[in-house]
Amino acid sequence: MKNLITIACLLFSLPLMAQTKVVKKNAVKANNFGITYSLPKTQLIIDAEVTKVTCKAGPYYKYAEKYLGVKDAVTEDKVYYELGKLSLVNKGIPDPDNTYIVEFKSGTVAPYAYLTEDGLLCSINAEYTPEESELESIKKNGQGPAKVTDASVFSEELLMAGSTARQAEVAAKQIYRIRESRLNILTGDADNLPPDGEAMKLVIQQLEEQEKALSNLFTGILTKETSHYEVSITPYDNLDKEVLFRFSNLMGIVDADDLGGVPVYMNLKATERAPVLDPKEAEKKEKSMKGIIYNVPGKASIEISMNKKTLYKGEAQITQFGSREGLAPVMFEDKKAPVKVYFYPETGAIKQIIQ
């Protein structure tokens, strides 16, 4: 089978993905003491952090170094993109080819299971509380647009200054007067000090906003807005230089077939893989598996790169590279001490067995 790739763009300002919900299923006479569940197959979610940088030059940028000593002022209006951190999350999605009905004997003590909303097994005979996913955690740590100070700073003196050079000189003098006023308040040398701490805090804040707005006339305004883009891939074999997406400094992330961007490659190599059984052995094993069927995932090393520079390197469990095994039904027939089993819903592997 081919590796499947899906790309989606998610702006951080949109609602976050809902946390995984679980459903409790009881094995009772009405459903013949059976519970239907699916084993997952591995889907890798690559989260790319992209920052849009908007630069707006100030009207006095030519005088930034002369009056303020600033050498890196914005000199032209432009927009560009930066590719930030890449994260990889292992997500389990239901495998329609591996759906099972587990049947408990009627004598079993109150058998029940917790499943995700899409039918992946979480626990048997044990309460299960879903944890926040890695993907949700990544997005919560994202950042929104940077705050831009837009206080009105064009005083009458500044507007009446005439030439741009003269205006820049007046604006610079206003900046230094503000700094002096703030210093006098902080050191207690001002003629009219604020009456209390809250009033002082407010005055200092207003002075800082005025200084920032005036300084922007020289340095310009640089606004950063971070968004997250997702690419999902379902691997069925090793990958060699698989193009996940392309990146352009002028356009940000673009489709894998858009030659306007530089390709971002993924290399994936199985490091632990279940042995391939011949058809007769596979059929024999399939018939012998009873009770609770679970996954024993394989593993793969993963590297993502662009322009020969590594952006991500790590390891992931891949259920497609592993095998399936079964828990004997007799384990769940003890009326006095029912066995509790916890699973990793993203891989279908056993997490813990409590007897």
Model confidence pLDDT, tens digit, residues 54-72: 999 999 999 999 999 999 9
- With 50 as the cut, is the pLDDT of residue 14 above it? no
0.85 cut: is pTM over it?
Answer: no
Segment among 208-212, 271-275, 283-287 with least mean pLDDT: 283-287
What average pLDDT does range 197-217 have in this prediction?
89
- With 70 as the cut, is the pLDDT of residue 20 above it? no
DSSP assignment of 192-258 equals: S--SSHHHHHHHHHHHHHHHHHHHHHHH-EEEEEEEEEEEEEE-SS-EEEEEEEEEETTTEEE-TT-
Task: Determine phi and psi for 299, rounding to 5 degrees.
Answer: -135, 155
The confidence score (pLDDT) of residue 190 equals 72
- With 70 as the cut, is the pLDDT of residue 318 above it? yes
- With 90 as the cut, is the pLDDT of residue 327 above it? no
Taking the C-alpha atoms of residue 280 and residue 278, their distance in angstroms, rounded to an integer, is 6
Model confidence pLDDT, tens digit, residues 264-276: 999 999 999 998 8
pLDDT band at 32 (very low <50, low <70, confident <90, very high): low
